């Protein structure tokens, strides 16, 4: 299995998206305990469990954990994963090179379209993360309207709903053949009502 790779940090205004490490566990535990995040992620764990989880993710060639960093503090979290190696792959048609993503934006960074900018950025980098990746996918909870909006504004189309073991999800996807062009991060960016995500 080819390893998912992150070749260069993504700069988004005053923040950047970089690989997450066990050193981020304490701040990720705090981020995931925010009610707006916990209701969708269900990963409001203590720092020890986050340390163990990040260690497992880092060793897994089909996973790529990323931290949104502002001045040395974690303000968001992204996971990129191979659909074929994830539970999602058991419920949908997919290629061996399709990628999926999850995203959470902390309260300090919400309401400025940052989530949509991150999604667009990961889509642009999808074929660098995994050669020949044809699609980037997401499966937010069907009730998470702010997430649907952010992915739609980033160029994702809805493929309908899918019942997963832990939720009913809205399946969304974007082709890497139609990746957005790089753009400067804007505090407006068309998603001012965006909330915690995703």
In this structure, are residues 18 and 66 in contact, taking their beta carbons and an 8 Å threshold?
Answer: yes
How does 83-106 read in b/e, with b if 16+ C-beta sit within 10 Å?
bbbbebbebbebeebbbbbbbbbb
Domain limits, the chain: 13-178
In this prediction the pTM is: 0.89
Q: Tell me what pLDDT residue 184 has.
A: 42
- How confident is the prediction for the chain on average, in pLDDT? 90
For 7-66, write each residue's pLDDT tens digit: 999 999 899 999 999 999 999 999 999 999 999 999 999 999 999 999 999 999 999 999
Q: Tell me what pLDDT residue 43 has.
A: 97
Q: Tell me what pLDDT residue 190 has.
A: 37
Q: How far apart are CA 109 and CA 166, in angstroms?
A: 27
Q: Tell me what pLDDT residue 179 has.
A: 62
Q: What is the mean pLDDT of residues 183-198?
A: 41
Asked if CATH classification 3.40.630.30 holds for the domain at 13-178, the reply, yes or no, is: yes
DSSP state of 142: T
């Amino acid at each position: 299995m080819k390893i998912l790779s992150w070749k260069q940090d993504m700069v988004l205004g005053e923040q950047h998206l970089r690989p997450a490490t066990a050193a981020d566990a304490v701040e990720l535990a705090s981020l995931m305990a925010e009610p707006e995040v916990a209701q969708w992620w269900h990963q409001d764990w203590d720092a020890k469990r986050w340390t163990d989880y990040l260690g497992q993710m880092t060793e897994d060639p089909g996973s790529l954990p990323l931290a949104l960093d502002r001045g040395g503090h974690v303000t968001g979290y992204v996971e990129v994963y191979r659909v074929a190696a994830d539970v999602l792959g058991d419920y949908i048609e997919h290629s061996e090179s399709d990628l999926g993503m999850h995203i959470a934006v902390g309260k300090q960074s919400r309401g400025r379209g940052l989530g949509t900018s991150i999604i667009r950025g990961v889509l642009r980098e999808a074929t660098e993360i995994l050669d020949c990746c044809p699609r980037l996918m997401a499966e937010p909870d069907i009730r998470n309207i702010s997430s649907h909006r952010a992915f739609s504004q980033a160029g994702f189309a809805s493929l309908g709903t899918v019942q997963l073991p832990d939720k009913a999800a809205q399946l969304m996807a974007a082709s890497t053949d139609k990746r957005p062009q790089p753009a400067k991060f804007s505090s407006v960016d068309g998603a001012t009502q965006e909330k915690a995500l995703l």
